[in-house]
Amino acid sequence: MPETIVLDRPLTWQEIAAIAKGAALSLSDKTWQRIADARAIVDALVAKRVRGYGINTGVGALCDVIVDIPQQQALSRNILLSHACGVGEPLGREETRAVMAAQIANFSHGYSGVRVETVETLLALLNADIPPIIPSKGSVGYLTHAAAIGLVLIGEGEARHKGETISGKQAMEMLGRAPLVLGAKEGLSLVNGTPCATGLASLAIARTTHLLDWADAAAAMSYENLGAQADPFAAAPLALRTSPGLQTVGGNLRRLLDGSPLLAQSAGSRTQDPLSLRGVPQVHGAVRDSVAQVAEVVNRELASVTDNPVVAGTPEAPEVHSQAHAIGAALGLAMDALGTAAAELAAICERRIDRLVNPLVSNLPAFLAEGSGVASGFMIIQYTAAGLVAENRRLAAPASLDGGITSALQEDILTHATPAADKALAIIANLETVLAIEVMSAAQAYDMQPGQNGNAAGTGALYERVRAIVPVYRDDRPLNGLLAKVRDLLSKMAAF
């Protein structure tokens, strides 16, 4: 049975990521009551004809057009149909589940005013693992992604079930539910807020956090093959710099390299190691600190109401407030920062790969190849790493500065939080590949060390894990097939 996460307080990014991977979600009685209470306020606003954006008015630049009660259901439905205009390849299963979980979390605060039945249906889709198909491109913020989810609730659009594409109507039939007929405000709430960016951001943090230890592991393996200082990451001098991330990296490196015969042999042969080796605590540590800061932003977003408008008060004295809580400026800035941090981690990793394969600095066979001139070894896979690092530099340009104007000047500043999260995920995927190349290259370097003095116990365990899935490379098969196996190891297993 999958783990079940109970939503009785704001969810964390870790919980969103767990749900994305398959954990179930349930809502506490108090949470359901908050949702019901907010719906009662919307019903009162409708009955009293209190003007509220998207409740009894049009949306965007049509916000001053009054929509009377008989047309409010049509307004909600039409919002979903017209806003479902995303394009491109669909999001993956984990990405879709993360967005759905963040959407439910946003409604759970009790300020959106969607019906209990609507949240129940969204929750049923999530827990039955029938994710809507969400085109990944075309949203400057959140609208097109979220509309694709809302379509399935009304029996439109498409979803996935056990790898097959089914219609929204079939998805509802599998749940044993009739397609929803949305009430006032529900169409707007289903496309509104920052759940798309928040869900994707939670996954981005989870994937980066998982790779941080692998980055330290890969660096330790490379350092053992290339390093020279006797005590490269000593605790006392590292403690002179205030950085929790730096101290964590230093501790990891000391533990992995403890008792290394290779480092004992090379000690003192250089006064100072190159920065891609010597600077691992400072660079890897700064990335860890940056990830921690981004995680705080995402958790704050999950604890926040990001709908517009929000409803408050009581059915007797209902209130509706049009503010800009749906704008994801904080998330856009945070995801741009995370993408830059992941790109920097990949960049220093690629520099270590180059040193491993470069006979001018490695004191190892050229390109870690057997048979001089006949075999190319790891020459071209370093090109792959360099190409991915270059792509990361292009992707790391800030999305949050893109700006733009939509809806006839009504929405005249855009912060692009969802695209920022999307490109951060792309950078992180490239980072994972570059790390896999370094791990595989370092394992090959061990096999080519003159004298075979042996590894430290920590790096030796890493070497054995690599060799359990890929052999020493002798130009005897396509190298990308072996790389895929090592990347799968990094993706699924903890480094230590």
Whole-angstrom Cα distance, residue 7 to residue 387? Answer: 43
Lowest mean pLDDT segment, chosen from 136-145, 275-284, 300-309: 136-145
Helix (H) or strand (E) holding 136: strand 135-137
Is it the case that residue 411 has pLDDT exceeding 80? no
Annotation: CATH topology of 201-492: Fumarase C; Chain A, domain 2 (1.20.200)
Q: What is the pLDDT at residue 141?
A: 65
Cβ neighbours of residue 67 closer than 8 Å, sequence gap 6 or more: 56, 57, 58, 75
Let me know if 463 is a catalytic residue. no
Is it the case that residue 119 has pLDDT exceeding 80? yes
In the chain, list all ranges with CATH 1.20.200.10: 201-492
Helix (H) or strand (E) holding 350: helix 329-357
For residue 64, give both structure tokens.
């001053």
DSSP type of residue 250: H
Whole-angstrom Cα distance, residue 67 to residue 81? Answer: 17
Cis peptide before 309 (omega within 30 of 0): yes
Lowest mean pLDDT segment, chosen from 67-71, 117-121, 157-161, 398-402: 67-71
Contact (Cβ atoms closer than 8 angstroms) between residue 216 and residue 280? yes
In the chain, list all ranges with CATH 1.10.275.10: 4-192
Average pLDDT value for residue range 410-433? 89
User: What would the DSSP string read from start to end of 31-93?
Assistant: HHHHHHHHHHHHHHHHHTT---TTTSB-SGGGTTSB--GGGHHHHHHHHHHHH---EEEEPPH
pLDDT tens-place string over residues 312-336: 999 999 999 998 888 899 999 999 9
Beta partners for 326?
A: none
One-letter identity of residue 5: I
Q: What is the pLDDT at residue 310?
A: 95
Average pLDDT value for residue range 138-162? 91
DSSP type of residue 133: P
Give the confidence band of 270 by pLDDT, cuts at 50, 70, 90.
confident
Which of 53, 446, 463, 473 does the annotation list as catalytic?
53
Is it the case that residue 452 has pLDDT exceeding 70? no
Residue 136 φ/ψ, nearest 5 degrees: -85, -10
Q: Which CATH class is domain 4-192?
A: mainly alpha
Average pLDDT value for residue range 478-483? 96
Is it the case that residue 429 has pLDDT exceeding 70? yes
Beta partners for 320?
A: 311
Helix (H) or strand (E) holding 25: strand 24-27
Contact (Cβ atoms closer than 8 angstroms) between residue 104 and residue 7? yes
Sign for the pseudo-dihedral over CA of 488, 4, 112, 306:
negative
Q: What is the pLDDT at residue 407?
A: 63
Helix (H) or strand (E) holding 423: helix 417-447
For residue 9, give both structure tokens.
């307080």
In terms of residues, how long is the chain?
496
466 or 401, which is more confident: 466
Give the confidence band of 14 by pLDDT, cuts at 50, 70, 90.
very high
Look at residues 215, 220, 244 and name the one whose alpha carbon lies nearest to residue 232.
220
Contact (Cβ atoms closer than 8 angstroms) between residue 272 and residue 278? yes
Give the confidence band of 303 by pLDDT, cuts at 50, 70, 90.
very high
User: What would the DSSP string read from start to end of 146-209?
Assistant: HHHHHHHHTT-SEEEETTEEEEHHHHHHHHT-PPP---TTHHHHHH-SSHHHHHHHHHHHHHHH
Is it the case that residue 116 has pLDDT exceeding 90? yes
Is it the case that residue 208 has pLDDT exceeding 70? yes
Is it the case that residue 139 has pLDDT exceeding 90? no
Is it the case that residue 138 has pLDDT exceeding 90? no
Helix (H) or strand (E) holding 118: helix 116-127
Q: What is the pLDDT at residue 61?
A: 63
Is it the case that residue 365 has pLDDT exceeding 70? yes
Whole-angstrom Cα distance, residue 420 to residue 200? Answer: 10
Whole-angstrom Cα distance, residue 324 to residue 254? Answer: 48
Contact (Cβ atoms closer than 8 angstroms) between residue 403 and residue 414? yes
Give the confidence band of 372 by pLDDT, cuts at 50, 70, 90.
low
Question: Rounded to the nearest 10 degrees, what angle do helices 93-108 and 116-127 cross at?
Answer: 150
Where does residue 404 fall: left (phi above 0), alpha (psi -120 to 50 degrees), or beta otherwise? left
> What is the percent of the chain where pLDDT is above 90?
80
Question: Rounded to the nearest 10 degrees, what angle do helices 143-153 and 72-83 cross at?
Answer: 120
Continuous H helices in 373-416: 379-395
For residue 448, give both structure tokens.
């080519």
CA gyration radius, the chain: 26
Contact (Cβ atoms closer than 8 angstroms) between residue 167 and residue 215? no
Contacts 24+ apart (CB under 8 A), 67-73: 69/184, 72/46, 72/183, 72/184, 73/181, 73/182, 73/183, 73/184
Beta strand 4-7 pairing with 24-27: parallel
Is it the case that residue 406 has pLDDT exceeding 80? no
Q: What is the pLDDT at residue 228?
A: 83
